[in-house]
Amino acid sequence: MTNTQEKRTALDAFIEHKARIDEMLERLQAASADHFETSPDDIRWGDAGFLADIASDLQHITDRVFKEGEYA
């Protein structure tokens, strides 16, 4: 395989992964706009804990992408 073919394959994979990320972000934004399908009157500690876990996971991802936190 030549360098051009390898780069093309890497580019294809990169674009594919980026599309997956964009789709996930779009779904997360929609879920957030809908308060993660939870009515304010029905919020319980489990709901708060669920969002805390999600926020922690997203913090890890953003730290990694932006070279912050443990990735600084």
pTM of the predicted model, to two decimals? Answer: 0.80
The structure tokens listed for 19 are: 């599309």
The yes-or-no verdict on residue 43 having pLDDT over 80 is yes
pLDDT digits over 7-34, tens only? 778 999 999 999 999 999 999 999 999 9
pLDDT of residue 2: 64
Helix (H, G, I), strand (E, B) or coil at 71: helix
Q: What is the DSSP string of the chain?
A: --HHHHHHHHHHHHHHHHHHHHHHHHHHHHHHHTGGG--GGG--HHHHHHHHHHHHHHHHHHHHHHT-GGG-
pLDDT of residue 7: 74
- For the chain, percent of residues with pLDDT exceeding 70: 97
The yes-or-no verdict on residue 5 having pLDDT over 90 is no
> Domain-by-domain residue ranges, the chain?
1-33, 39-72
